Amino acid sequence: MEAKALGAAAITAPFDGVITQTGYSVGELIQPSQTTPIVTIQRTDLMRVVATVPERDVPLVKAGQIVDMEIDVLPGQKLSAKVSRIGVALDPKIHAMRVEIDLPNPDGRIRAGMHATIAIRLSRQTEA
């Protein structure tokens, strides 16, 4: 099979972001059977924060609840967001549910991989 050069090929994503990793060098031949991504593009204006909620608190978590958080490398800066998505099954190893929070990041100061301390504002029924 003869390889054909694409010349100035364009790679597009359905969102604005930055290239955070490249899988190949310029001029390297990429075979159709290779599974290494050509590039990794990450969205930076909206960060997905992933947390786990202990099994006992899962019934109390609802989409839209307020989450208070502090990013470890930005001490003293309190951020708020809302629970966006809640998992449907517990992780059997840790007996916790995955919860996702979409955190606006218009100025780009929060970077992928940063750690945060979060508190989901749970409501408990006192007369139960």
CA distance 111 to 29: 32
Whether the Cβ atoms of residue 105 and residue 81 lie closer than 8 Å to each other: no
User: What domains sit in the chain, N to C, each tagged with a CATH number?
Assistant: 46-120 (2.40.30.170)
Instruction: Pick the more confident residue, 124 or 14.
Output: 14
Instruction: Pick the more confident residue, 39 or 125.
Output: 39
Angle at CA 88, nearest 5°, toward 60 and 115? 75
Is residue 60 classed as helix, strand or coil in its secondary structure? Answer: helix
CA distance 66 to 83: 7
Give the mean model confidence (pLDDT) for residues 3-25.
Answer: 78
The pLDDT tens digits of the residues spanning 30-61 come to 888 888 888 888 888 999 999 999 999 999 99
- For a pLDDT cut of 70, what percent of the chain falls above it? 89
The alpha carbon of residue 73 and the mean position of all alpha carbons in its chain are separated, in whole angstroms, by: 17
What pLDDT is stored for residue 6 in this prediction? 63
- Strand-pairing partners, residue 99, are 51, 86
Tell me the pTM.
0.72
The alpha carbon of residue 76 and the mean position of all alpha carbons in its chain are separated, in whole angstroms, by: 23
- Window from 23-27, 67-71, 76-80 with minimum mean pLDDT: 23-27
Structure letter (DSSP) for residue 96: E
What pLDDT is stored for residue 124 in this prediction? 62
Mean pLDDT value across the chain:
87
